[in-house]
Chains A and B, each alone.
Chain A
Amino acid sequence: AQRVTQPEKLLSVFKGAPVELKCNYSYSGSPELFWYVQYSRQRLQLLLRHISRESIKGFTADLNKGETSFHLKKPFAQEEDSAMYYCALTRGGKLIFGQGTELSVKP
């Protein structure tokens, strides 16, 4: 069965520290993976997708098919990065989400 796992419910770091939000998936086939972000009192929005190989707000994510992972990384965290982050994969146009990781960046 297709599944997305985010092992950390909460990740707390200090401003300027590196950040890695973990995401592992199980999928039979070639997955299409995304990171969505939800800032406080705002709606969920796309942060990045693996096919674009882009860096958004300093975040990057590399698809590792061998380890079935799609970890989200940022070298220097900022306070405005504090939010809820969801990893997701798409199957037939539908999104399957992980449980989410709350990132808290302290000053």
Chain B
Amino acid sequence: DAEITQSPRHKITETGRQVTLACHQTWNHNNMFWYRQDLGHGLRLIHYSYGVHDTNKGEVSDGYSVSRSNTEDLPLTLESAASSQTSVYFCASNSKGISTDTQYFGPGTRLTVL
């Protein structure tokens, strides 16, 4: 069955380290998104991509980067992890050009930056 997966599910790292969170979907969706979930803020968009080699900044993109080399994957990189980036990260995907299409979410990655 088609699905969207994230790895790792839990990660503890230290301030200043580079961290990469993986997101992989098998629906052949063109659109992929990264959100962070924090109490009191809901989900906030970090970066998104509408297709291979396309990346765009979201609401809270500082300190994060993404790259899209194929349809299936959108890895999220924290260049130099900070304690403020401790959060739960969700990846999502949906079909190209259909704004009302459901976004399908991954299970999330809980990141702790010490």
Which residues of A line the B interface, CB within 8 A?
4, 6, 9, 32, 43-46, 49, 51, 86, 90, 92-100
Contacts and interface: CB of A to CB of B under 8 A. Distances in A.
B100 A94 contact: no
A86 B37 CA distance: 11
Interface of B: 31, 33, 35, 40-45, 48, 50, 58, 90, 92, 94, 97-100, 102-103, 105-108
Contacts of B45: 94-96
A100 B103 CA distance: 17
Contact of B103 (A46, A51, A99): A46
Contact of A43 (B41, B44, B105): B105
B79 to A, nearest CB: 23
Contacts of B98: 93
Contacts of A9: 40
Nearest to B98: A93
B44 to A, nearest CB: 7
Contact of A99 (B40, B99, B106): B40
9 contacts: A9-B40, A43-B105, A43-B107, A44-B92, A92-B99, A93-B48, A93-B50, A93-B98, A100-B42
- Among A4, A49, A90, A93, the most chain B Cβ lie within 10 Å of the Cβ of A93
